[in-house]
Amino acid sequence: MARKCKQTVTAGFYKELHEKEEFVEKNDQCLVVSGNETDVYEVERLIDKKVKKGHVVYLVLWKGYSKEEATWVPAEDITATAIRLYHDPDPCRRVLMDDISTLRSSLQFSLKSGILRRRKISIPFHRHTFNYLFNDKGEAVKCKPGKLYVRADFPSQYFEDSFFNFYNKFGEGCCVEFPIYMYSHVSYHQKSFYCDKTPRTRGFNETLSLTIVKSFQS
């Protein structure tokens, strides 16, 4: 279902492969599911995590494959580096800056619309970008999945003060009041079926939901 990691075959490679109980490729971003070379797959990144029947599983996005082909895989079949990057990610700069730009545009549009409108925002936003920016930040909210984030939680190198305000040509403006409630989550597509009643595979979206309070500035 997923693409194999590239291998450099040397003398005795296959003999050694079948003699060992488990094969681990040098690129520890790969996933190992058995002691067979054909079962080594390349992982793009881990998307989500849950506990199923007492075991931790991760939603794996396979490199070169669609979201509909992502699968849940037990933690013991995933390399330590892949799991570390899930909890402590390092997104490429292009993805990071695009996500920040999407957030800026959404906030500016909300502020432009006035104090009472568009206070709840949902935008596409990669989870590994969110975790990179906001890991170990924010204050938990009772009975809610998200957290409250103050101005200091937003890294200044990416979020200058103008990020959180909008002014028109008359000098009238609207600003975000902190804290901001944010929740990064995975939303799954609705279940659907083929004409023979077999279920289709489900894709997903990585979403950032925000609730903001705005104030008028003049």
Read off the CATH number of the domain in which 61 is found: 2.40.50.40
Ranking 8-17, 48-57, 68-77 by mean pLDDT, the lowest is: 8-17
Asked whether residue 113 falls in the same domain as residue 81, the answer is no
Say yes or no: 80 and 119 in one domain: no
**Spatial separation of the C-alpha atoms in residues 59 and 50, rounded to whole Å:** 8
Q: What is the pLDDT of residues 22-45, one digit of tens each?
A: 444 444 455 544 445 556 778 899
Residue 6 has pLDDT above 60, yes or no: no
pTM equals: 0.79
d(CA 94, CA 45): 16
2 within domain boundaries: no
The neighbour count for residue 104, using CB atoms within 10 Å, is 16
What pLDDT digit, counting tens, does each position of 191-202 carry? Answer: 888 899 888 888
The confidence score (pLDDT) of residue 23 equals: 41
Can you give the residue range of the structural domain that contains 168?
93-217
Residues 120 and 151 in one domain: yes
If one counts the domains in the chain, the total is 2
- Residue-wise pLDDT tens digits, 161-182: 999 999 988 888 999 999 999 9
CB 186 within 8 A of CB 146: no
**pLDDT, position 213:** 93
Taking the C-alpha atoms of residue 101 and residue 122, their distance in angstroms, rounded to an integer, is 14
